[in-house]
Amino acid sequence: EARHAVSTALALGYRLFDSAEVYKNMQGVREAVELSKLERASITLQSKVSFVHKGYAEVFRAAKSIASQAPGGYVDVLLLHFPGTATDAGKNDSILIWKKIDKWVIGDVEIGRTLRAEAWKALEDAATAGLAKSIGVSNFMVSHLEELRGFASPRFWPPAVNQVELHPFLPMEDLVQYCRKNGIRV
């Protein structure tokens, strides 16, 4: 249960918590933070908009929903969870079927680019509206980040974060180097 895990983590001194629509853990995070009586400003909450949302309206609506569930009505960092969409998995799938990732990423290049541009604009507007203190991405490769540079407004380039899986068996050295060079936290 998220509430118990986050309560325990808060008691041990943890102050950064990662959430996502697909994890379905924000309610537990909120409950734990509220029960802790800690100041909201002392805790960093990061969440991710699911890739089932396509286009500006869906992504902005999801950002509003995430912020409304978070303690204080905002998140510190709001990320796009994935550079593709879950069109092939079906809108109602609540399970990530990772073997389809290649299809989601590759898909129709022009449609993907348009949807990423609209999604990023929605995050920019969410940040401007106070729903998130900063915005970023998750699972974006160098090509996606270069593309993002082309349509991100100057105020929001570079993204604050690119949350990716990194370990000795998946070092992604080119991506890490690119992010460091461009001031993107990994």
Separation of alpha carbons 153 and 165, rounded Å:
27
Its sign, for the CA torsion 15, 20, 25, 31, is positive
Q: Looking at 23, 56, 74, 178, which residue is catalytic?
A: 23
Tokens of 3: 């509430």
74 included as an active-site residue:
no
Sequence-distant (≥ 6) Cβ neighbours of residue 145 within 8 angstroms = 137, 158, 159, 162, 178, 179, 182, 184
The 8-class DSSP code of residue 45 comes to: E
Residues whose CB falls within 8 Å of the CB of residue 57, separated by 6 or more in sequence, listed in order: 122
Coil, helix or strand at residue 183? coil
Backbone φ/ψ region at 157: left (φ over 0), alpha (ψ -120 to 50), beta:
beta
Q: Active-site residues: which are they?
A: 23
